[in-house]
């Protein structure tokens, strides 16, 4: 277990709801299953007894298999719907994109998704707003609500920030990446990519707890800091997939396997590749390595996915990467642009998934009866 605190991403400030840092989550060896029939880990909101707008998506642990099905089916329907009727769906509804961190794929695809459904969007980014003058997340959220925002898409460097915003505004909040906690829409678009490429388009609209049974998805690299790894590792086993984490000790503490069921650790990339149907490469963020003992040259030798390695150990595996890609570091250009790569398809699937999440967010009424009261559930001990 790496002892250093992740450098680049903080946990949310004092008055915030208890934040779920991956560091803490990894330390806890008793995180429960994300399967709908299994006990769920207590979410940050659980600790505060907060209620969420039912259209919010803050963590994949909120989703049942039925929810995942509905999102996939809606994404498939919206994707093929003619442009004109689709643009009536959320006509003139107001969606705010509140981005405290830079983003290309996530921000653009949420924006395009909202516009495709006819919504009006407004982007507020940290460098061009009162955030720069020190305004709190709560006050920024209340301001957006007063201006008519009906849904806020939030990216924030602090784990748990979306819970604070959800509680303060009572609006549907879509988590577009919070610190080292979660990135649920990314995991859903990764799932849609895997289903489409490995099983065919018809499986991308309806899934069961067995759909990915027998499939191994290996996630390679900076697991410790990755909200993408965490959301995928919680979502994919709900459908029966096995998840293998691969990376060196400083970026992948032993305790990471306890994030959920169906996760194992394999430190040798060649051995991990040999068992993989899907391999997801993650970027190494040099800016977050302070305090961690990591020789980047050695890392590249041991963990870079190059064409020879892929051809030898996983000639049929699908290659994914959430981006941004650092060519020549974790992946070579030959692999990123090669036939096994579905990296651009991931980006493409992001629009359909985010249309579905926005429709869900804005069409689910927030009556007190259906408001999701998040209650702490007993935590299942991981027996590993
Ligand atoms: C990731 C993110 O921001 O969490 N990218 C993404 O949203 N597609 C991964 C990263 O930052 O490395």
The DSSP-derived string for 210-276 is: TTTTT-EEEEES--TT-HHHHHHHHHGGGGT-EEEEE--GGGS-GGGGGGSTTEEE---HHHHHHT-
pLDDT of 294 reads 83
Dihedral angle at the C-alpha atoms of 102, 108, 111, 115, nearest 10 degrees?
160
In short, whether 183's Cβ falls inside 6 Å of ligand 1 is: yes
Please, which residues bridge with residue 51 across strands? Answer: 373
Residue 248 to residue 326: CA distance in whole angstroms: 18
In short, whether 221's Cβ falls inside 6 Å of ligand 1 is: no
Whether the Cβ atoms of residue 81 and residue 112 lie closer than 8 Å to each other? no
Average confidence (pLDDT) over 362-369: 79
pLDDT band at 133 (very low <50, low <70, confident <90, very high): confident
In short, whether 106's Cβ falls inside 6 Å of ligand 1 is: yes
Greater model confidence, 49 or 92: 92
What spacing in Å lies between the alpha carbon of 322 and ligand 1's midpoint?
6
Q: Whose CA is nearest to atom 7 of ligand 1?
A: 106
Please identify, by atom number, the ligand 1 atom nearest to the C-alpha of residue 222: 12
Residue 87 to residue 78: CA distance in whole angstroms: 10
Chain centroid offset of residue 92 CA: 28
Query: The tokens of 62 are what?
Result: 């909120």
Residue 376 pLDDT greater than 90, yes or no:
no
pLDDT band at 337 (very low <50, low <70, confident <90, very high): very high
Residue 231 to residue 229: CA distance in whole angstroms: 6
In short, whether 186's Cβ falls inside 6 Å of ligand 1 is: yes
Report the share of the chain in percent with pLDDT over 90: 73
| CATH number among 3.40.50.12280, 3.50.50.60, 3.40.50.2300, 3.40.50.1370, domain 42-182+351-361 | 3.40.50.1370
Please identify, by atom number, the ligand 1 atom nearest to the C-alpha of residue 101: 3
Average pLDDT over the chain reads 85
pLDDT of 50 reads 62
In short, whether 323's Cβ falls inside 6 Å of ligand 1 is: yes
What are the pLDDT digits (tens) for 204-246? Answer: 999 999 999 999 999 999 999 999 999 999 999 999 999 999 9
Q: Where, residue-wise, is CATH 3.40.50.1370 in the chain?
A: 42-182+351-361, 184-285+292-345
Environment class of 123 (CB within 10 Å of its CB; exposed 0-12, middle 13-18, buried 19+): middle
What spacing in Å lies between the alpha carbon of 323 and ligand 1's midpoint?
6
Whether the Cβ atoms of residue 312 and residue 352 lie closer than 8 Å to each other? no
In short, whether 350's Cβ falls inside 6 Å of ligand 1 is: no
What are the pLDDT digits (tens) for 154-211? Answer: 999 999 999 999 999 999 999 999 999 999 999 999 999 999 999 998 889 999 999 9
Greater model confidence, 29 or 329: 329
**Terminal alpha carbon distance of the chain:** 16
Please identify, by atom number, the ligand 1 atom nearest to the C-alpha of residue 285: 12
What spacing in Å lies between the alpha carbon of 124 and ligand 1's midpoint?
19
In short, whether 6's Cβ falls inside 6 Å of ligand 1 is: no
In short, whether 241's Cβ falls inside 6 Å of ligand 1 is: no
pLDDT of 371 reads 54
In short, whether 335's Cβ falls inside 6 Å of ligand 1 is: no
What are the pLDDT digits (tens) for 249-305? Answer: 999 999 999 998 989 999 999 999 999 999 999 998 776 677 787 888 999 999 999
Please identify, by atom number, the ligand 1 atom nearest to the C-alpha of residue 282: 12
pLDDT band at 21 (very low <50, low <70, confident <90, very high): very low
Domain 184-285+292-345 has CATH 3.40.50.1370: yes
Among residues 152, 137, 174, 184, which one has the least CA distance to residue 17? 137
Residue 381 pLDDT greater than 50, yes or no:
no
Residue 242 to residue 219: CA distance in whole angstroms: 11
- 3-state SS, 280-340, equals EECCCCHHHCCCCCCCHHHHHHHHCECHHHHHHHCCCCEEECCCCCCECCCECHHHHCCCC
Backbone phi, then psi, for 7, in 5-degree steps? -80, -45
CB atoms within 10 A of CB 329: 17
Residue 70 to residue 163: CA distance in whole angstroms: 23
Residue 358 to residue 113: CA distance in whole angstroms: 8
What spacing in Å lies between the alpha carbon of 267 and ligand 1's midpoint?
23
What spacing in Å lies between the alpha carbon of 378 and ligand 1's midpoint?
31
In short, whether 177's Cβ falls inside 6 Å of ligand 1 is: yes
Strand order in the sheet with 173-178: 120-125, 94-99, 151-156, 173-178
Greater model confidence, 80 or 102: 80
Q: Which of 323, 343, 345, 348 to mutate to test the pocket of ligand 1 (most atoms within 8 A of CB)?
A: 323
Q: Which of 100, 179, 186 to mutate to test the pocket of ligand 1 (most atoms within 8 A of CB)?
A: 186
Residue 354 to residue 362: CA distance in whole angstroms: 12
């Amino acid at each position: 277990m790496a002892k250093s605190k992740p450098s680049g991403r903080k946990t949310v400030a004092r008055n915030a709801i208890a934040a779920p840092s991956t560091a803490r989550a990894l330390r806890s060896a008793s995180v429960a299953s994300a399967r709908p029939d299994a006990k769920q880990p207590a979410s940050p909101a659980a600790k505060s007894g907060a209620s969420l707008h039912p259209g919010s998506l803050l963590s994949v642990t909120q989703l049942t298999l039925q929810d995942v099905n509905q999102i996939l089916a809606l994404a498939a329907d919206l994707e093929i719907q003619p442009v004109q009727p689709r643009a009536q769906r959320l006509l003139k509804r107001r969606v705010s994109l509140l981005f405290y961190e830079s983003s290309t794929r996530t921000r653009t695809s949420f924006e395009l998704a909202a516009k495709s459904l006819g919504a009006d969007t407004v982007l507020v980014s940290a460098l061009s707003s009162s955030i720069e003058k020190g305004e709190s997340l709560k006050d920024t959220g209340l301001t957006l609500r007063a201006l008519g925002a009906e849904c806020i898409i939030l990216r924030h460097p602090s784990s748990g920030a979306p819970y604070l915003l959800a509680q303060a505004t009572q609006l549907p909040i879509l988590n577009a990446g919070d610190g080292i906690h979660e990135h649920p829409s990314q995991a859903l678009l990764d799932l849609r990519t895997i289903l489409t490429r490995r099983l065919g388009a018809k499986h991308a609209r309806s899934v069961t707890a067995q759909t990915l049974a027998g499939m191994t998805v290996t996630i390679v690299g900076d697991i410790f800091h990755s909200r993408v790894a965490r959301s995928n590792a919680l979502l994919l086993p709900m459908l029966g997939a096995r998840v293998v984490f691969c990376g060196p000790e400083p970026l992948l503490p032993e305790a990471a396997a306890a994030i959920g069921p169906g996760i194992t650790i394999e430190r040798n990339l060649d051995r991990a590749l040999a068992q993989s149907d899907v391999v997801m490469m993650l970027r190494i963020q040099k800016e977050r390595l302070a305090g961690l003992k990591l020789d980047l040259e050695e890392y590249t030798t041991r963990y870079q996915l190059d064409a020879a390695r892929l051809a030898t150990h996983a000639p049929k595996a699908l290659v994914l990467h959430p981006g941004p890609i650092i060519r020549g570091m974790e992946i070579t250009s030959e692999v990123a642009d090669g036939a096994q790569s579905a990296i651009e398809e991931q980006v493409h699937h992001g629009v359909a998934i985010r249309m579905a999440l926005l429709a869900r967010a804005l069409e689910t009424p927030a009556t007190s009866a259906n408001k999701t009261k998040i209650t702490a559930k007993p935590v299942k001990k991981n027996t590993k």
